[in-house]
Structures are given as C-alpha cells and as structure tokens.
C-alpha cells in the first residue's frame, strides 16, 4: 500500500510539472539574420551580373541578325538560308548555355539557403536544450503560434546568438 501511494504521488507530481514552452517568429528571425542577408545580397549581385551578360549577348545577337537581314537581300537564297540556319543554331546554343548558368546559380543559392535553415534549426534546438525548454514552436506567416506572450518570444535571443556567431 505504501509503494502504491508513493507511485500515485510520483505520477501526480509528474502530471503537475509544467512544460517550458517558447516560440520563435521564424520570418522575423530569418529576415534579420545577417548571414542570410549577406547570402541573398551575394546571389542578387550574381543574378544581376548574369542578367547584364544575357542582355549584352542578346543585343549583340540582334545586331548580327539585323546585319544578316541586310546582307540576305544581296546574296543567293540558298546562301541566306544556310547562314540563317547557322545563326539560329548558334542562338539556340547560347540561349541554352545562359539558361544552364542561371539554373546552376539558382541551385547553388537554394543549397546555401537550405544550409542556413538547417543551421538556424540546430541553434534553436541547442538554445532550447541549454535553457530547459520542452518545446519551442515556430511562429510567423504560416507558423504554429497564433498567440504567444512576449515573454515567451525567443526570437531576439536566438537572433543575437546567430548573428554573434556569424560575426566571428
């Protein structure tokens, strides 16, 4: 009977134990995370350079096409058709090359962003374990937290840790 009473008290005590719960505004955290800002800036610079390159190549090709159209009136139809086919083939090749470069840039960008998200999640887990949290929920657009007391918002604390580690 004594053991039974101790077991009931232990179960009751465990049931009364409160879980420590916090939340993070994921959108705010990522928007203010300096490493993410730097990664986006770096890829925007690369994308802008690629757009300039594409525009430059496109303009040069348009000029070449205009020159061909002027010349085509003075050469035989067969020669014009052959030259036009070569121009078309080269245009397709250059277009495919540019498209491939853009896809590689996008894939590289996505891989870096995935790495950042993983790093943020790991930091949140580390913070939660170190500070005795049972749960840390994700808030923001589409998040699981519809309301949370400001005292339970861990966003700024985790953001500070991430940005401090990034500065080093």
Residue 123 domain-assigned (yes or no): yes
If you average pLDDT over residues 146-157, what whole number do you get? 86
102 has pLDDT over 90: yes
Minimal CA–CA distance to 164: which of 60, 22, 32? Answer: 32
Instruction: Assign residue 98 the CATH number of its domain.
Output: 3.30.910.20
Domain contains 155: yes
Residue 11 lies in a domain: no
Counting residues of the chain whose pLDDT is more than 90, the rounded percentage is 58
% of the chain at pLDDT higher than 70: 90
- Global pTM reads 0.73
Report if residue 143 sits inside a domain: yes
The total of structural domains in the chain comes to 1
The verdict on residue 9 lying in a domain is: no
Q: Is 3 among the domain residues?
A: no
Residue 22 banded pLDDT, cuts 50, 70, 90:
very high
Question: What is the extent of the structural domain holding 76?
Answer: 19-167
Nearest CA-CA partner of 117 in 138, 145, 131, 90: 138
User: Contacts for 122-130 with beta carbons within 8 Å, 24 or more apart?
Assistant: 123/158, 123/161, 123/162, 123/165, 124/24, 124/154, 124/158, 127/154, 127/157, 127/158, 127/161, 128/22
Is the pLDDT at 42 greater than 60? The verdict is yes
The pLDDT of residue 139: 85
Could you tell me if residue 33 is inside a domain? yes
């Amino acid at each position: 009977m004594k053991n039974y009473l101790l077991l009931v008290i232990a179960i009751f005590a465990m049931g009364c134990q409160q879980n420590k719960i916090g939340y993070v505004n994921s959108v705010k955290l990522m928007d203010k995370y300096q490493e993410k800002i730097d990664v986006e800036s770096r890829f925007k610079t690369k994308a802008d350079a690629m757009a300039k390159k594409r525009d430059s190549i496109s303009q040069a090709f348009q000029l070449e096409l205009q020159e061909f159209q002027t010349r085509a009136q003075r050469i035989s139809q067969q020669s014009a058709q052959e030259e036009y086919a070569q121009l078309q083939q080269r245009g397709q090749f250059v277009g495919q090359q540019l498209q491939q470069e853009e896809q590689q840039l996008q894939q590289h960008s996505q891989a870096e962003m995935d790495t950042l998200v993983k790093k943020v999640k790991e930091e949140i887990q580390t913070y939660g374990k170190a500070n005795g949290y049972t749960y840390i929920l994700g808030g923001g657009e589409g998040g699981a937290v519809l309301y949370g007391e400001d005292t339970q918002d861990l966003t700024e604390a985790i953001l500070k840790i991430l940005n401090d580690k990034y500065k080093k």
